[in-house]
Structure 1
Amino acid sequence: MPAAAEPDSDTTLRHRNPPAPQDAGQAATHPPKTRVSLTGVSETMLATLSARADYASYPSATGDGPFFPDPWAKAALDRLAWDSTQPSKTTVQARGFNSRIILRANLFDLWTAEFLAANPDADKTVLHLACGLDSRALRLQSHWAQRNVRWIDADVPDVVALRRQVVPFPDEGCYSLIELDVTSNDWLQRIPADRPTLVVMEGLIMYLTPEDAAGLLRGICDRFADRSGQIVCDVVGKTYLRIQAWNKAISRTGAVMTFGVDDAEELAAADSRLRVRDHVLMWQLPGQHLYSWWSKVVRWCFSWIPGFGTLLSDVRLEF
């Protein structure tokens, strides 16, 4: 396996002081909290939402502000009738899990900002598949809303319905939130293919079958390759598939991961138009100060054990 590439971007994305959303507790009336009735893969988004809320104020390595400012995550969590402290639910308090979620989200923000900054006056599309309750469109609003950028958040109907209740739309820019199923045959035809496109898939591809994952990558190339673009996604290794029950935050939901790769070239093999630009292993992510010392030791040990060095990684493909 070729050496994994370090991300070619700054370690901290400088958000432009995002305004904190109004806290429901400060409102004149207290609207009832939104009940959550998700299961399986859709329910996993609550664990990642809880992680982003918990770490929204965690300082950067230099101490000059939060490492990953996301006030919308806490606001969304506060609007849900879901107790993230209950061990029977989908979140864990283990710092290692939460840190991984934050570092992955930060890297994807960095890669998205890079895509938007390249030739900034050009028309572009950002397509965020399985967006869940993620606030990336809000966190990066200053990078895209006043440019010729079309931002599309997409997920299954139940998730979209919940998102409309707890996550605000950006207050400017060409934004849309749509329902779709990536395993269907015709959803790509609903997405305009008239400009370079970035497809973001966070916490998605590992839940597909190998056939559906390859079909998704080929379909993206078929739809957007004439205008070029990128795909960013996180992947699990083949060893992780065998030990996934260890991650109680996910296994409690009933979600089962069925697709794993140890080498990013296995993703690129789905279509000859795909090229690997970056393959970032978990101990190479910017922001390692978020990990506790024991997490760092564990990750260092994993890096020397066959099959464990690629348990979790992040990939950027070009087409």
Structure 2
Amino acid sequence: MIESKLSDLPETMLITLWAKAEETKRADALLRDEKAAEIIKRIEYDFSKFSKARFSQAGCCVRASLIDTETRDFLDNHPDAVVIQLGAGIDARFERMQRPPVTHWYDLDLEEAIRLRRQLLAESEQNTYITSSMFDYGWTEIVKSHGKPVLIIIEGVLMYFDPEKIRAFFQELCMRFDNATILFDMLAFSLVGHSRQHDTLKKVGKDLEFKWSLLDTREMETWNPKLRLEKEFYMSKYDHGRFPIFFRMLYKIPYFFRRYNQRVVRLHIT
């Protein structure tokens, strides 16, 4: 067994690992992640504390499934792409997608997360890891060096940083890329400042807080003329009846639909 000793933010990657492993047991699974089911058995950690968090468990899998689908769509159109996951944790998307024959697939995270990842998921010639903060922009040069279409995936990460830092991050990407697609999730707007009400996050680091979301995703287009919103998916439309009935009723009201819904967003840098 591998003992998991992670600081607050990297510990959140165990929530999504648990969610996907649980989902894989279901006959009606939103996604199947056999690698997550395998990995969870190798980590010494009290996953039982998440057992009642059914809303977040389903939400993690709706989110991952939507990002998987959009990734496949991008790769269908750009089979020679370079893909990088920022804040990859121990997500096995490359494995889950049957090791797509891209030019290269990078997974980036902080040192303690990559150290654990290397014990659980082997690198390969086509899929390698980068130990770095996403805000240290050396990774952009690595990705651009291939001269291929670029897909940047950021899942379960952006909500933990201040709005000014997120805006500066996207401005930096616009400065460094002339052509790139970014897939990411947008926290439900109503949750900003309310991490202690979240059914799984309250079980991990007490110093973590939800800091960033936007009520209107199109606001991001005003940050830089190179940013264009291509698609956004309100997750309640894709839950297949898995979200609690109380929330499914609330989502019928436009005010709550916009403020209490998480989104998956696809932006393009032109």
Moved more, 109-118 or 185-194: 185-194
Structure 1 residue aligned with 2:151: 198
Return the structure number with greater helix share: 2
1:174 Cα deviation from its structure 2 partner: 1.7
**CA displacement 1:208-249 (0-9 Å, x = unmatched):** 111211122122222222xx2211111114321143311141
1:297 Cα deviation from its structure 2 partner: 3.8
Question: Is residue 208 of structure 1 aligned with residue 130 of structure 2?
Answer: no
Question: Is residue 243 of structure 1 aligned with residue 194 of structure 2?
Answer: yes
Structure 1 residue aligned with 2:226: 273
TM-score normalised by length of structure 1: 0.77
| AA matched with 1:76 | I
1:278 Cα deviation from its structure 2 partner: 1.3
Alignment check: 8 A CA contact 2:233 2:265 kept: yes
Number of paired residues?
A: 265
Question: Is residue 106 of structure 1 aligned with residue 65 of structure 2?
Answer: yes
Alignment check: 8 A CA contact 2:193 2:211 kept: no
Alignment check: 8 A CA contact 1:188 1:219 kept: no
Question: Is residue 150 of structure 1 aligned with residue 114 of structure 2?
Answer: no
Unaligned runs of 5+ in 2: none
SS at match of 1:200: strand
1:119 Cα deviation from its structure 2 partner: 4.3
Unaligned runs of 5+ in 1: 1-32, 61-65
1:253 Cα deviation from its structure 2 partner: 1.9
Structure 2 residue aligned with 1:13: none
Structure 2 residue aligned with 1:56: 24
Alignment check: 8 A CA contact 2:53 2:199 kept: no
Write out aligned runs for 1:124-139 (5 A): 124-139=81-96
TM-score normalised by length of structure 2: 0.90
**CA displacement 1:235-288 (0-9 Å, x = unmatched):** 114321143311141133232121111111123332211111112112122x51
**CA displacement 1:40-96 (0-9 Å, x = unmatched):** 111111111001000113234xxxxx54121110111111111201x3xxx343321
Alignment check: 8 A CA contact 2:161 2:210 kept: yes
1:108 Cα deviation from its structure 2 partner: 0.5
Structure 2 residue aligned with 1:258: 211
Question: Is residue 163 of structure 1 aligned with residue 120 of structure 2?
Answer: no
Question: Is residue 184 of structure 1 aligned with residue 136 of structure 2?
Answer: yes
| AA matched with 1:176 | T
SS at match of 1:191: helix
Partner Cα distance (1:52, 1:237) in 2: 20
SS at match of 1:132: coil
What do you get for the CA RMSD once the two structures are aligned? Answer: 2.0
> What's the % identity of the aligned pairs?
24
Partner Cα distance (2:265, 2:185) in 1: 6
| AA matched with 1:73 | A
SS at match of 1:141: coil
Partner Cα distance (1:79, 1:283) in 2: 33
1:187 Cα deviation from its structure 2 partner: 4.3
**CA displacement 1:193-216 (0-9 Å, x = unmatched):** 522101000011111111211122
Alignment check: 8 A CA contact 1:238 1:307 kept: no
SS at match of 1:203: coil
Partner Cα distance (1:185, 1:200) in 2: 15
Partner Cα distance (1:247, 1:192) in 2: 37
Larger Rg: 1
